[in-house]
Structure 1
Amino acid sequence: MWKYYALLSAFFAALTAVFAKIGVKDVDSDLATAIRTTVILFITWGIAILGNHTCDFRCIPSRTWIFLILSGAATGLSWLFYFRALQLGDVSRVAPIDKLSVVFTICLSFMFLKEPINAKVIVGALLITAGSIVMLYK
């Protein structure tokens, strides 16, 4: 089932890139990110409230809070830089370079989470890296 969610995530990320490129055309990229974040805020809180998941709110351990806050900060910074890159560059070049995050994730998950890396993962990471490097140059 996780594969379907991952594919849906990739599809909506692609829509995000295209919609964002159009959306940042006539507005500051930071303001565009703030608007996008507000929409996400309402959608996710709506899902949490309608799904009756807010009762779990009180039971979140402090360590979890720390990492969720750090994750949120990293996400916000990623979006700010991504929207600025979209404003300045072609979406067809920015989006593939942004996917270097996959390579960074593989490296960080190996170092900090001790997740295994096999030949298939290494080859995939190298291909993503090569593709991103190609996109850096016209």
Structure 2
Amino acid sequence: MVVDGLTDETVDRLFHALADATRRDILRRCVRSGLSVSRLAEAYPMSFAAVQKHVTVLERAGLITKRRRGRERLVRTDPGAVDRARQALDELETAWRARVDRMSGLLVDDPGTDPGPGPEAGAGGKETTEGQDR
């Protein structure tokens, strides 16, 4: 599936990054303003290195940007990346809705067609009559 230039690999990285609660929280914290990785690390019961790894996953997925301010690296959520995730989900929804519509169309009885053998038909669709001599 390619969504507006997003390859399967890009979509996979995007949703892998969003699959973790800590990474989603980092995205929420960095929406309004850029935060340094060390400032982010203070908010979690894990090491600085662990938070840095989460930030790296988010950066590789294109969900955040980092910029240098003096000695600090400020992390900020990229709203365009969140829109790309939404587009990928919309594309999947469209595909599934089309599939459901096709299945629904197959399930609707068409009065002009033969419904086939009834419940009295035996194996192979041939009617059987019990007790008849052959």
Q: TM-score, normalised by structure 2?
A: 0.23
Using CA pairs below 8 Å that are at least 6 residues apart, which structure has the higher relative contact order?
Answer: 1
Q: TM-score, normalised by structure 1?
A: 0.22
Computing the radius of gyration from Cα coordinates, the structure with the larger value is: 2
> By percentage of residues, which structure has more strand?
2
> By percentage of residues, which structure has more helix?
1
